Structure 1
Amino acid sequence: MTAPLTADAHEYGLVGDGTADDGPALRKLVDALGDATAGDGRPRTVRVPAGRYVIRDQPVLWRSGVSLVGAGRGATCFALTNPGAPTQPVPLAWFTTAQHGAGPDHPVADVTFAHFEIDGSGVETEEYEVLAKGLGLQYVLRGRFSDLWIHDTAATGFGCDFLQDTVVEGVLAERCGRQDPGEKMGGAGIGIGVGGWGPVERLAVTDCTARGNGTNGIFLELQQDDWVPPRGIRITACHAEDNRYGISDWGADGLLVTGCTMLGNHVAGFDVSAQGTTSVGGRGGLVTGCLVDGNAGDGIALGNTPGPYGFHGNRVGGNGRYGYWQHNLAGGDQEPATDIVLESNDIHDNALDGIRVDAPLHEPAILGNRIRGNGRRAAPEARGGGEGVHCGPLSLTDERADWLPGGHRGKELTIGGEPGGAEATADGTAVVAPEAGVEVTAVVTDNTATRLTLAPPAPRSRHRVAGRHPRSRHRLPPPGLPRPARRSHGRRRGHPPVRARQPRPGRRAPPHPGPRGVDRVPGHLDRRPGLRQRLQRQRLGVDPLRLGAERRTLARQRGVTRMPRVLRVLRVLGVAARVVPGPRHRQGARSASTAIRAAVPITASAAGSTAAVWAVRVKTATA
């Protein structure tokens, strides 16, 4: 047939009545237009009028040069179903390496997908299938994905990998990863595999929203561990809410995240770790001007990265654990992270420490931050029930309570577990009921003297608090230890020795301990003596950092100690901090709730010590 440059879908057999299977007609049309484009090199466009187009049991193999443009979100809808093929994933469009031989020399090029909706609620596979996406393309060249609404897919909603010279803008992904329990690959709103094009992938993700998805809102993942993490990827003005993780960097290099909001996510707002397919964390990224607020877990979680990574001008507040948490997961990179920078951030009102360091750092810079009001989780254990207790969908009110405002932030509220507990409903969720004994749990995001505000249930959770059963029994744990982070690799319990890191070309290695280990220990920051050191020398007549045995008692009596210089600086600035440089030099924290808490070695070369420590400007935390 003749292939026009613009084809009306109705003229080529698509019906759009919500009943007829439009898949065969669309596949035939895409093949015809793809053949025409291959013949004359002129891209074609399929215009799809408003309607509900059913794609049943078989996806559409996409072709280069063929674009799909609808009449707008909610007007043009592609409904994916697989009633006749329960083992078959049915993305609207797919083109992959494993099934179709996609690669850098065989991409799908010059395509646009714009102005339509994908409804994946009709796809149900017998087991979780990572390919049960809304869109599943690999090796896209000069692509554009604009104004799309993708929702209720069994796996990732927008699941396209290896995007070169491509723009993803205005994509709304909701409730995707419907069959993912939160521990499988995929299951995200927007999930993009990287590394297939080499060291540079030019990709912009702009003005996208990801809400209520099974794992990540938006994430980048290196697909093979022997590939070079690519540069050239930007995420700008995006919003991630009510996902397990908001935005995650699991293997990019130099990722730029700018002007994004990460709110109400269940494990972390922004995550860098080894949780991806290849257990490779991101590195070289910059996060600027973002709002990371009200997440049930951590605000920013960073680990398994060699560095560098920078966070500048962000607001990180009201999170249920730490504002910033440096840690490593088992199975990923364990070497000290180099050149971690936290500058000009507002870190406030988090449940535990504002900044928590549980993994080694080399030449960090923490400067110009405003750190205040952290350590909010200070209320004691509490129990209640009976008259005056009311449960809402995202709240619990106990009129007889007298809680410390904000003191239960980040705690896990338990309702039921005894007569007066909860019961299961027909849809598999749980509601509070006085005659059942099922426990229902929810995370407290904030509280007043009598009211607890609860985080929405985690995606795919079967436990929800309904608002029609009063007098519910409930209990809140003591402040104690942090609520465990729910991570696939689990939290590291200790810090075993790691292999020494080879310095990069042009960079000095960390100083090694000399024959007199007490003079140079891990955590010691060398620099030219300043005013305080010169005054100490005048008082003692010796270098206080190289005291002889006969002078040490006198030095301690006069308040000159051989504690690591980073600890002295922080204490001079009024920061309650703890730095543990080694087994022979341990200093305890002065407060249970701190602005900055470091429990591992922090090292710097002589050239980097000024930026690493002396530029610190923070305020003491308040409970």
Structure 2
Amino acid sequence: MATIPTNNPVPSESPADLKFNAGKLDEFNTSDAETYADRKGRVRKTQAGIQKENDRIVENTRQNLIPLSRQYMTLAAAQADIASIPAGSTTFVRSPDDTALALEYINDGGTLKPTGRKMPSQESLDIVSAYYQIFEKYFSQNGSGNLYEWYDKEQENLVAFMDSAGQFFLPGFDNKPVQSLKGDVDNVKKVINGNDAPAILSLNDAQNGLMGFMDDAGGYHLPGMGNETLQKYVQDTRKRVDRMYRSRHAYNAVTDFAIDNNGLVDCQPAAQAAINFVSSLPGGGSIYFPRGVYRLHKDLVPKSNVTIIMPHSGARFLPINKAGGFTKPWGDKSYIENAHFIDVEIDGSEHSVYSHAIKGYYIQYFRHCLWLRGYVHDTSATGVGIDFPDGSFILDLVTENCGRLATLGRAGSSGIGIGTGVLQNEPLIISRTINRRNKNFGIFFEQQHDDAAQYQSRQIIVSESIMTGNGMGFGDCGIGGLTLTGCQINDNLNEGVLMSSGTLTVNDGRPQPGNDGIIANCQILRNGSHGINYSALRTMTAGGYSFTGNHISGNAGNGVNLEAKSDYTIPDMNIADNTMKENTGHAIAVASGAWTDLDITGNRALRNGGNIRVDGDIADASIGGNKLRSKNAAPAISGPGALNKIDIAENQYIGTSIKPVDLTGIQNNVTYGRNPGF
């Protein structure tokens, strides 16, 4: 018969208590029940109960560890091996596409069912990488020693930071990192779970000092938090983090704005709403468009302070029928500022009609903008047709088959076309671009002929670019002081380089050929007409161009051709130190018009159809130091043009003409120095 327990305090040496405990010891060792009650009434586990608990822990561990040792290439292979996957446990199967690396499945009664959880794919890592690059711009070290610092929307007040050890700090936490919050909560739970008292609880340390307490409403209070409960602090922290998330500067087009990327429906309304939203934020931000096709039934309107980013491949905008890519409304003369386009592809292959306005980019008045590593192709009109720059860059861009629905010579219809003339200085740098198979030019600049475009704009540089297979390679149709250097301009259907009045109707003398430019150190090869053609047949120009250090070879026309209306006098041209080889026409031809202060010096003319041809009039000029080695019957210098105040000296002629100098026009004050072979 069981002994009735006493209420003696612990420890007790009462015989009655000893007898009671002896019975309980036997119950602990031999009972099949999982629990028993000690003499104070507390429920304890028997040995059988402890054994059962151990079995449960082992089985749970087995179920969670065994599946992790296996991954299956297909769902069918995993289902066939179901015996190795305990019921209720999970395993991974390789994803059939690139949206994830592997998918998790659970054994539900012998059938594998998806849990919805995934291992991340390379695409998600690419997105994280893109975010990191953007966040690094805004949250980089500033000398404080912290890894990152977050500020409010006005970028004035510090709201959170991560120190150099990776500890995350938020306001109101008594200089304790957020990572310490878990330990405090665990301590609270340990005490609460071990005490059944319904009253207010206090938490004491080993010296019986107050560590914290739970109030009668269930709120936990910890040192350093004032009168604020732990629950309220966590709730407020979540709100602050949510505000930080909403005020961040980088967004994913698909996950944050639900923009469709399957190419089957029009995503323009959602994409435009996203651009408008990001532009409205203080300082703007970035939108990352992950892999996919973004179908556009209307043009997107770019906004200031918005960066559009795509992965290096696998994502593109697909404008349909008459829709362009990014278009700033015509007539809006305010400048768009700080708009950036990085790795953006615009595919115009679904354009169905021609209009000069159906472009990849059609933006007027832009300042501090950037195009980086884009690809624009198969557009109806110009690929990148943007007007009136100010402090902007186009770098590492590729244009291909743009203007495909136009005929040669129609307005624009080129790879890159820049309208100019609103400001005297319109700084723009184009570098490391590739422009091929575009209808008119690979790259060209054109002074606009509306009332606002009064200037031949300055401060424009084009370098290290390729223009091949276009109607013409490069065009300067109305800017001042261009620098074109280090470019490959070859295999175009007509001129390699053309300075002319461009593709627009001339209005009040505009557009006109560019002036005071430099073309240097370029390869100008195998073009279907002249290598370089300076043409003032429609409008007057200030001239002033220098062609120096170029290789001009294998072109179907002249190496360098100068032409102008008969009543125009063009000043200050310089043709020096070029190599002109195997061109079908002459190495250098002054085809028409009048030219003053023209210098032709130091050029090497090798095996061309002719050497120097003068059909126009020349005054105040020199022809000296040239190597004229046609090695055929062409004269060294010939033509009916009038010559006035010309010095011809130190030229070398190697050819078979019986009359090396065949100048038949009026000559006034023409002097001949030493000219071997003449």
Q: Same fold (TM over 0.5)?
A: yes
Q: CA RMSD in A?
A: 3.8
Residues 300-343 of structure 1, C-alpha deviations (whole Å, 9 max, x = no match): 11122321000110000011111111113x6xx95222111111
CA distance in 1, matches of 2:524, 2:448: 27
Which of 562, 570, 578 is 1:337 aligned to?
570
Q: 1:118 aligns to what? A: 346
Q: If the length of structure 2 is used for normalisation, what is the TM-score?
A: 0.55
Amino acid of the structure 1 residue aligned with 2:609? G
CA distance in 1, matches of 2:561, 2:280: 53
- Cα offset, 1:245, TM superposition: 0.7
CA distance in 2, matches of 1:12, 1:596: 75
CA distance in 2, matches of 1:49, 1:318: 45
Residues 196-229 of structure 1, C-alpha deviations (whole Å, 9 max, x = no match): 2x11111000001110011001000001276110
1:347 maps to 2:580 = yes
Change (3 A) 1:376 1:6: same
Contact map agreement 1:233 1:256 (CA 8 A) in 2: yes
- Cα offset, 1:591, TM superposition: 8.0
Which of 72, 77, 85 is 2:316 aligned to?
77
Q: 1:266 aligns to what? A: 493
Amino acid of the structure 2 residue aligned with 1:307? G
Contact map agreement 1:523 1:601 (CA 8 A) in 2: no
Amino acid of the structure 2 residue aligned with 1:19? L
SS of residue paired to 1:354: strand
Contact map agreement 1:357 1:598 (CA 8 A) in 2: no
Q: 1:52 aligns to what? A: 293
Change (3 A) 1:165 1:583: closer
How do 1:202-217 residues align onto structure 2 when only pairs under 5 Å count? 202-217=427-442
Q: 1:190 aligns to what? A: 416
- Cα offset, 1:161, TM superposition: 1.0
How do 1:541-556 residues align onto structure 2 when only pairs under 5 Å count? none
Contact map agreement 2:446 2:511 (CA 8 A) in 1: no
Amino acid of the structure 2 residue aligned with 1:345? N
- Cα offset, 1:356, TM superposition: 1.0
SS of residue paired to 1:327: strand
The percentage of aligned residue pairs carrying the same residue is: 23
- Structure 1: tracts of 5 or more residues without a match: 83-88, 378-481, 483-493, 496-521, 527-564
Amino acid of the structure 1 residue aligned with 2:558? Y
Q: 1:247 aligns to what? A: 474
1:17 maps to 2:262 = yes
- Cα offset, 1:570, TM superposition: 10
Amino acid of the structure 1 residue aligned with 2:370? R
Change (3 A) 1:256 1:45: same
CA distance in 2, matches of 1:190, 1:594: 47
Change (3 A) 1:569 1:210: closer
Change (3 A) 1:345 1:567: closer
Amino acid of the structure 2 residue aligned with 1:71? P
SS of residue paired to 1:60: coil
Contact map agreement 1:215 1:243 (CA 8 A) in 2: yes
SS of residue paired to 1:173: strand
How do 1:160-171 residues align onto structure 2 when only pairs under 5 Å count? 160-171=386-397
1:576 maps to 2:644 = no
- Cα offset, 1:4, TM superposition: 3.3
Contact map agreement 2:598 2:620 (CA 8 A) in 1: no
Which of 461, 474, 477 is 1:234 aligned to?
461
Residues 428-469 of structure 1, C-alpha deviations (whole Å, 9 max, x = no match): xxxxxxxxxxxxxxxxxxxxxxxxxxxxxxxxxxxxxxxxxx
Which of 525, 530, 544 is 1:293 aligned to?
525
CA distance in 2, matches of 1:594, 1:47: 70
SS of residue paired to 2:338: strand
Change (3 A) 1:340 1:121: same
CA distance in 1, matches of 2:277, 2:396: 29
CA distance in 1, matches of 2:589, 2:434: 29
Change (3 A) 1:66 1:592: farther
Amino acid of the structure 1 residue aligned with 2:336? V
CA distance in 1, matches of 2:607, 2:410: 37
Residues 87-129 of structure 1, C-alpha deviations (whole Å, 9 max, x = no match): xx3221111442xx1x2xx21101110112110010112xx31
CA distance in 2, matches of 1:25, 1:323: 53
CA distance in 2, matches of 1:91, 1:594: 60
Contact map agreement 2:604 2:626 (CA 8 A) in 1: no
Contact map agreement 2:596 2:619 (CA 8 A) in 1: no
Q: 2:601 aligns to what? A: 367
CA distance in 2, matches of 1:115, 1:597: 57
Residues 537-574 of structure 1, C-alpha deviations (whole Å, 9 max, x = no match): xxxxxxxxxxxxxxxxxxxxxxxxxxxx9799999x99
1:65 maps to 2:317 = no
Residues 123-154 of structure 1, C-alpha deviations (whole Å, 9 max, x = no match): 112xx310100011111110000101100000
Could you list the structure 1 runs, at least 4 aligned residues long, displaced by more than 3 angstroms after superposition.
1-4, 522-526, 565-571, 581-584, 589-604, 616-620
- Cα offset, 1:524, TM superposition: 6.5
Contact map agreement 1:270 1:299 (CA 8 A) in 2: yes
CA distance in 1, matches of 2:408, 2:487: 23
Contact map agreement 2:641 2:663 (CA 8 A) in 1: no
SS of residue paired to 1:122: coil
SS of residue paired to 1:61: coil
SS of residue paired to 1:160: strand
How do 1:513-552 residues align onto structure 2 when only pairs under 5 Å count? none
Contact map agreement 2:587 2:609 (CA 8 A) in 1: yes
Q: If the length of structure 1 is used for normalisation, what is the TM-score?
A: 0.60
- Cα offset, 1:362, TM superposition: 0.4
CA distance in 2, matches of 1:210, 1:568: 36
Change (3 A) 1:180 1:22: same
Between Structure 1 and Structure 2, the one with more helix by share is 2
Q: 1:310 aligns to what? A: 546
Q: 2:336 aligns to what? A: 108
Contact map agreement 1:91 1:134 (CA 8 A) in 2: yes
Amino acid of the structure 2 residue aligned with 1:52? V
| Matched pairs, number | 408
Change (3 A) 1:581 1:116: closer
Change (3 A) 1:593 1:212: farther
Larger RCO (alpha carbons 8 Å, 6+ apart): 1
Amino acid of the structure 2 residue aligned with 1:209? I
